[in-house]
Amino acid sequence: MVVLVCTKSKQTNTEGLLPSILKKQMRINNNNFQKNANTSLVSQLIWKSPGISRVDIARELNLYRSTVTNIISALIDDEVVYEGEEGSGMSRGGRKPIILRLNEKFGCVVGFDIQPSHYRAVILDITGSLLWQQKGALPKVDFDGILLFLMDLVLSEVKKINIPLLAVCAGIPGIVNSDNGIIVYAEPFKLKNYDFHSFFAKRYDVPVFVENDANCTAWLEMTINRNIHLGDFVCLIADYHEGSYQFGDRSGIGVGIALSIGGKVYHGSHHSAGEFCSLSWREESIGQTGLQEDVLIRSVSDPQALAVWMNDLFSSLVPVLSVIDPRFLFIHGKPFDDEDKIQGMLSKDCPQFLALLEKIGCKMVFNAHDESVVAKGAATMYLQKLFAVPELSETESRTHFDWDDVINQAYPMKKSYILQSGSDDNE
């Protein structure tokens, strides 16, 4: 840390001194920014290519070997990275290169999918591997109580796993300002301008992130396909609203869309890019479509009603996809788990959708059997941010973090979290 002290004296020229202080502070900030950027570049490459060597990292990133060596030494000292067995081939010195891997036990990330009727929760290690997952019904309490319930649940599991908790991330249906941790509007939970970030900051010593549930699927696809150039893509996710529940949202199928443009999840001008309304929607409509409520309710179990809903959805996507021109359309969610059935339904009832995919060269990829995609996507959002080169504009975000923050969060190795909802197990 650099401390600048200015005392009053005849020699002090505050007007001339201030610019030099600002310039020095900018250099300090830029140096720290560059250090974090290089650390993210190196760790990202190890994440993408487990078993890579220092020499290959320097060559791939076009960095000086000394720079890579210093970064790797720091990551090893902080137990983020470890040296594995010797690799194949020879270095210029005639020795086999030492390979590098991320330390799976360095830290873990919690991911939540919070729906009005149920939750899904996962814990991933720093590589993205699944350590634990669970699905269940939510207690009949307010939203604060739901968060306390979920945190008590996962903190007990984190304690069993005995790996430092790096972050908690949640996906919810609604309009979310993910940069500042604010749920702008979530109709299913009757929330408006809910300060998700502050709720956690007051109660838990762990960074927290919140995102629109559909956008979480885009973060997941970016992680799964991190060694592939996906280009621009769209994610479509649907989930059953499982009966009536305390918040009063109607039964049926909820749907969301996520956009990834230029390698980034697109949130829109008002943070609502993941929210979907079909072509049948009107101002007086309740929900996402203009379909009759009995059709929406029956769409869960009635094939004819489901076909009506599918046609309304996919015909609405035709103008969307034609404008965006994505390379991939990823399909998620239980309503789409029978790919052959969906393809047949589209061929019969919405052939224009399939024709458009062929016209623009967009590949439709089904990944509908994993019910935890939103929870996993929420957790991988943190990993994507961790291993991404930060942008200067992001440093002003309320949820911004750097590698110093990550290391400080991981140590001491065993943190004590106090359960908030009255559980006796608070050691």
pLDDT, tens digit (0-9, with 9 covering 90-100), for 18-51: 444 334 333 445 678 888 899 999 999 999 999 9
pLDDT at 424 (0 to 100): 46
Residue 198, domain CATH: 3.30.420.40
Domain total of the chain: 3
Question: Could you tell me which residue, 36 or 114, shows the higher pLDDT?
Answer: 114
pLDDT at 251: 59
Could you tell me if residue 227 is inside a domain?
A: yes
Position with higher pLDDT, 104 vs 301: 104
In a domain, 404, yes or no: no
424: in domain:
no
In a domain, 16, yes or no: no
Instruction: Examine the domain organization and report whether 224 and 366 are in the same domain.
Output: yes
Based on the fold, state whether residues 269 and 252 are members of the same structural domain. Answer: yes
Q: Indicate which CATH number applies to the domain containing 93.
A: 1.10.10.10
In the predicted model, is pLDDT for residue 275 greater than 90? no
Identify the burial level of 32 via C-beta atoms within 10 angstroms of its C-beta, where 0-12 means exposed, 13-18 middle and 19 or more buried.
Answer: middle
pLDDT at 245 over 80: no
Of the listed ranges 138-147, 204-213, 227-236, 246-255, the one predicted with least confidence: 246-255
* Domain end position, chosen among 102, 133, 162: 102
Task: Give which of 203, 213, 174, 177 is closest to 191, Cα–Cα.
Answer: 174
**199 and 65 in one domain?**
no
Residues 177 and 223 in one domain: no
> Does residue 173 share a domain with residue 219?
no
Confirm whether 344 is domain-assigned: yes
pLDDT at 159 (0 to 100): 96
pLDDT band at 401 (very low <50, low <70, confident <90, very high): very high
183 beta partners = 176, 194
Q: State the Cα–Cα distance between residues 427 and 420, nearest whole angstrom.
A: 12
pLDDT of residue 51: 96
Distance of CA 293 to CAs 79, 116, 238, 285, Å? 55, 18, 17, 10
Q: What percent of the chain has pLDDT over 90?
A: 69
- Split at pLDDT 50, 70, 90, the class of 173 is very high
My answer on whether 261 and 344 are in the same domain is yes
Residue 5 is predicted with a pLDDT of 37
- This prediction has a pTM of 0.86
What's the average model confidence in pLDDT over 149-158?
Answer: 98
Two structure tokens written together for 401: 């973090």
- The verdict on 268 and 333 lying in the same domain is yes
Mean pLDDT across the stretch 54-58?
Answer: 96
β-pairing, 130-137 with 98-102? unpaired
Residues 11 and 230: their CA atoms lie apart, in Å, by 60
Q: What are phi and psi of 84, to 5 degrees?
A: -100, -160
Nearest residue to 305 (alpha-carbon basis) of 251, 379, 260, 266: 251
Place 427 in a pLDDT band, splitting at 50, 70 and 90: very low
* 252 and 368 both lie in a single domain: yes
B/e letters for 265-290, b = 16+ CB within 10 Å, e = fewer, are: bebeeebbbbbbebebbeeeeebbbb
Question: Please, is 209 exposed, middle or buried when counting C-beta atoms within 10 Å of its C-beta (0-12, 13-18, 19+)?
Answer: buried
390 pLDDT band, cuts 50/70/90, is confident
- Regarding whether 115 and 46 lie in a shared domain, the answer is no
User: Tens of pLDDT along 75-97?
Assistant: 999 999 999 876 555 555 556 78
Question: For the chain, how long is the longest CA-to-CA vector?
Answer: 87
Whether 365 and 232 map to the same domain: the answer is yes
Same domain, 284 and 337: yes
- Return the bridge partners of 100, or none: 52, 83
Tens digit of pLDDT for each residue in 359-379? Answer: 999 999 999 899 999 999 999
The pLDDT-based confidence of 142 (bands split at 50, 70, 90) is very high
In 262-332, where do the E strands start and end?
Answer: 264-266, 328-332
Average pLDDT, the chain: 87
Which of 106-110, 208-212, 293-297, 313-317 has the least mean pLDDT? 293-297
Rounded distance, CA 285 to CA 64, Å? 60
Separation of alpha carbons 101 and 50, rounded Å: 5
| CB of 287 closer than 8 Å to CB of 294 | no
pLDDT at position 20 is: 44
Task: Kindly state whether residues 235 and 124 are assigned to the same domain.
Answer: no
State the Cα–Cα distance between residues 240 and 253, nearest whole angstrom.
5
- Of 252, 349, 368, nearest to 307 (Cα)? 349
Q: What does the pLDDT look like over 285-294, one tens digit per residue?
A: 777 888 888 8
Predicted pLDDT at 45:
97
Report pLDDT digits (tens) over 305-361: 999 999 999 999 999 999 999 999 999 999 999 999 999 999 999 999 999 999 999
Write out the residue range of the structural domain in which residue 97 sits: 21-102
Q: Is residue 84 part of a domain?
A: yes
The pLDDT value given to residue 9: 41
Residue 410 lies in a domain: no
Instruction: Kindly state whether residue 262 falls inside one of the protein's structural domains.
Output: yes
Name the domain boundary from 102, 121, 156.
102
Enumerate the H helices of 170-265 as residue ranges: 196-201, 213-224
Residues in the chain, total: 427
What confidence score (pLDDT) does residue 22 get?
A: 37
pLDDT at 104 > cutoff 70: yes
Final residue in a domain of this structure, among 69, 84, 102: 102
Using left for φ > 0, alpha for ψ between -120 and 50, and beta otherwise, residue 128 falls in left
